[in-house]
Chains A and B, each alone.
With several copies, the nearest count.
Chain A
């Protein structure tokens, strides 16, 4: 299990290949990649703040919950912080399992929890100033699925 909180960019394709190569017994690998979206071309950058002392432990706790609930061969979580350009990768998760439905559910679970329970805060820097991204009610509601 690799859980990384890092400022540096990463190569999602290389991570996916390394992850898949290491899970010989698994038939199913699901990945999620989150990118800095620039809907209308006005975004200059996204700044991600986090709580260094807590982040790694919070992610490890979420990953451990996923491994308790589903039979997973392996789990990968990478989450960046700092200043990111539009189009850049923010984070990725990957899950491996014998069965596709477990891999899908576990990856969706990880994303729902990382979104609302890992101590990251996003700020969008636009031409007209900066705005903290507001948490959505639907993201909190998504946790009730599990």
Chain B
């Protein structure tokens, strides 16, 4: 699965995207896996209230299932306009 990071999540984790092999059933489970990897992930995902997720380029929620998903993107609340 491709995992993408944007804005300060990208900066804290230190890369814009990576390939992740996982059997995590939900977004939240994937986050827990990533947080357990290294401090930079734990820091990036420390504030779940400021975390948004898109699954295959559609906004979704942290409790959404990952079955069949090819691209997961994590980012802070959007600030367009």
Contact = CB atoms under 8 A, between A and B. Distances in A.
Interface of A: 34, 49, 51, 53-54, 57-58, 79, 90-91, 100, 111, 114-123, 132-135, 140
A120 B77 contact: no
Chain B interface size range: 10 to 19
Contacts of B73: 51, 54, 119
A100 B80 CA distance: 12
A53 B80 contact: no
Contact of A114 (B6, B10, B57, B81): B81
Contact of B77 (A34, A91, A135): A135
A111 B79 CA distance: 11
A58 B4 CA distance: 17
Interface string B59-78: 10000000000010101111
B76 A51 contact: no
Contact of B78 (A57, A100, A123, A135): A135
A120 B54 CA distance: 13
22 contacts: A34-B81, A51-B4, A54-B54, A54-B73, A58-B59, A79-B80, A111-B81, A114-B81, A115-B78, A116-B80, A117-B78, A118-B80, A119-B54, A119-B75, A120-B81, A121-B76, A121-B78, A122-B79, A122-B80, A132-B7, A132-B8, A135-B78
